[in-house]
Amino acid sequence: MTYSHLDRPVQFLKGVGPKRADAFARLGITSARDLLYHVPRRYDDASTVRPIGTLEVGEDVTALGRVRSKGVIPTRRGLRIFQAVLEDDSGMITAAWPGQPWLDRKLRQGDTVLVTGPVKFFHGRQIQPREMTVVSRGQESGGRTGLIYVTYPASEDLPQWVLRGVFDKNLDALLGWADEDEYLAGDALERYRLPPLGRALTFLHRPDEIRQADVGRRRLAFDELFFLQIVQAQARRRATEIEPGIEHVRTNELIRPLHEALPFELTEAQARSLREIYADMQSNRRMSRLLQGDVGSGKTAVALFAMLLAAEGGLQAALMAPTEILAEQHAANLRELVEPLGLGIDLLTGGLGAADRRAALADIQDGTARLVVGTHALIQDAVSFASLGLVVVDEQHRFGVRQRMALLDRPGLRPDLLVMSATPIPRSLAMALYGDLDLSVLDELPPGRTPVQTVLRRPAARDDVYDFVRAQVEQGRQAYIVYPLVAESEKVDLLAATDEFERLREGPFSHLRVGLVHGQLASSEKDAVMRAFLAGDVDVLVATTVIEVGIDVANATVMVVEHAERFGLSQLHQLRGRVGRGAAESHCILIAEPADGADERLKVLRDTADGFEVARADLRIRGQGDLFGSLQHGRDPVLRFADLMRDEDLLVVAQREARGVVASDPELEAPEHARIRAQLTGRYRDRLEMYGIG
């Protein structure tokens, strides 16, 4: 690997040294490159800074001043208030931080600080900052003073003024070295309207105006999207193209009879997805496809038709589910459909008895078992398929990249792969998460499904909600009540499942059969409770989000979610999908406290049943956060600069560019791709390892 100046350990930069290097390491900064890519937390435009002498009571302002004096003021009620007198050439003002006496250790007399907050009247004018940045310490410059003040993520050991000083001493050199990482040719920069890397980083750290900072961010966003797509394009090529796949032969011996026997018509979305899947399976290219659809959109039926195509050619097909009870339900539902075809469904889970397990393993090994449903048990070393032609992975996000690859990467096997997800996600997120997979979308529900009635209620209406639940149970129905916590916490004032289970069982639902399930129970206990609920032996199931992805209980018609404001919209939509599985009208009741933006957010769920629309709103409101789930790896987030809602256009061109590079030079051996290869084996090595590349 070619050495870059940016690989230099951070301790050898000016103003750092061994002791500060430890503090930098705790911020995730160990090299010059890490420092250069340390993402600013915010920018303050000095053109909006008001002279202190002009600040008026009632205004919300940003001001810049030197600390003239400071101290902690006790009050009669025991509250300690840190106060500092700030001054500039136009006058002075008191800044007050109630309940934050520790700031007395952070601020020194002579420091220059940037503060933002409301101006109030309390023994004269007083600003109460909600944001405060130490711009410089005493006589130190603490970084460039210009029109734009850049604030970085800092720490107690590495305060803002120290970070600014280190950047001030090293940024010119760092920006000069940045050219060593440039991998885009001039024509590509012009085509995508992106600045060169050095200029982008200059804009990020030294913008002359706020607009420049976003221009720099977009270039760096393109880079991380491009390298993510390069890794996924290589994984996609290795999975589908390096060695030939199975060319499945369609005889209609099984497919046509099933189609004719189905008690329903396939939707256009199902038919379209099947055409895409069959085209992949009948080609000499290995299929690697994601089937995405909302709850109830008919993914399992599509998967069964794909499994039958494998079986028509004398091959085996396996469906892997995340839980034993879900695997059992899949097996039972599929048996009912394929029994008239003279086929059986073999089941392999960890809960099988020794004799049943030996029999299942023997049938799988000699090929007697043509259609197999199981859990993680399918990827154990003891399992040996005779002729595996198709792997279907249900609820893909519960497994992750490594687990689905474990079933595929067996000696001598090149089965096709179909992964299914009932968690609708926006197109941009799907491209980022699953760039190694082709995408089929079920974007319509079968006709005749009754939408779940969704309502919002305040905690004061809880007794009325309980009355409604009792009325539904008296009609022979069942209900879920979901809580955000397993047990009470001193840190947050929220109802918890275990405590509410006891209260409900002894109080409002004392004459009903109440069950409890949560993630801290042993698997066997969770299983037993869910089986009892499925069998109708439990009327009301008190739970946490462990039931978010679960079995179909057609008789459950009520989903009550407590503290709904604490859940993401997509999570709430998944919980709502637990009801409405049968013919009876179903209801989702969201009990929520009034909170900033909560009602507006929850109304999105109330007003739409479209999971894709809900997911778009969730991504827009909540941000991408931890939505990458199992793709997240190591200490670095997958995306630090890119915003999938704002940058979908960048993602599209990054994917096109990356796939073009990999198509023309799969191993990145050409001289013009040397810098791409260097960055992959350096900055993005963890991505390569995750996909088993390199």
Full DSSP string of 436-492 = TSEEEEE-SPPTTPPPPEEEEE-GGGHHHHHHHHHHHHHTT-EEEEE-SBSS--SSS
| CATH code of the region 255-442 | 3.40.50.300
Q: Is 148 in contact with 43 (CB distance < 8 Å)?
A: yes
In this structure, whether the domain defined by 1-41+152-181 belongs to CATH 2.60.40 is answered with no
Could you give the CA distance from residue 544 to residue 561 in angstroms, rounded to a whole number?
9
Span 363-392, pLDDT tens digits: 999 999 999 999 888 888 788 899 999 999
Q: Of 318, 292, 305, which Cα lies nearest the Cα of 266?
A: 305
Q: Is 117 in contact with 61 (CB distance < 8 Å)?
A: yes
Helix-strand-coil split of the chain, %, nearest 5: 45, 20, 40
Span 31-70, pLDDT tens digits: 999 999 998 988 877 777 889 999 999 999 888 899 999 9
Q: Give start and end residues of each alpha helix (H) in 324-437.
A: 324-338, 354-366, 401-408, 427-433
In this structure, whether the domain defined by 51-136 belongs to CATH 3.40.50.970 is answered with no
Task: Assign 408 a pLDDT band (cuts: 50, 70, 90).
Answer: low
Same topology, domains 51-136 and 453-608? Answer is no
> Which of 319-333, 345-359, 609-623, 637-651 bottoms out in mean pLDDT, i.e. has the lowest?
609-623
Q: What pTM was computed for the model? A: 0.73
Span 238-263, pLDDT tens digits: 878 777 889 999 999 999 999 998 88
Average pLDDT on 69-89 reads 88
Nearby residues of 378 by Cβ (< 8 Å), 6 or more positions away: 318, 320, 348, 372, 407
The end-to-end CA distance of the chain, in Å, is 13
In this structure, whether the domain defined by 453-608 belongs to CATH 3.40.50.150 is answered with no
Could you give the CA distance from residue 127 to residue 117 in angstroms, rounded to a whole number?
6
Q: Is 318 in contact with 385 (CB distance < 8 Å)?
A: yes
Q: Is 517 in contact with 543 (CB distance < 8 Å)?
A: yes
Q: Of 318, 325, 299, 415, which Cα lies nearest the Cα of 373?
A: 318
**Encoded tokens for 607:** 């007003």
Task: Assign 410 a pLDDT band (cuts: 50, 70, 90).
Answer: low
Average pLDDT on 616-631 reads 61
Sole residue written with tokens 């329903």: 264
In the chain, where the domains are located: 1-41+152-181, 51-136, 186-242+659-694, 255-442, 453-608
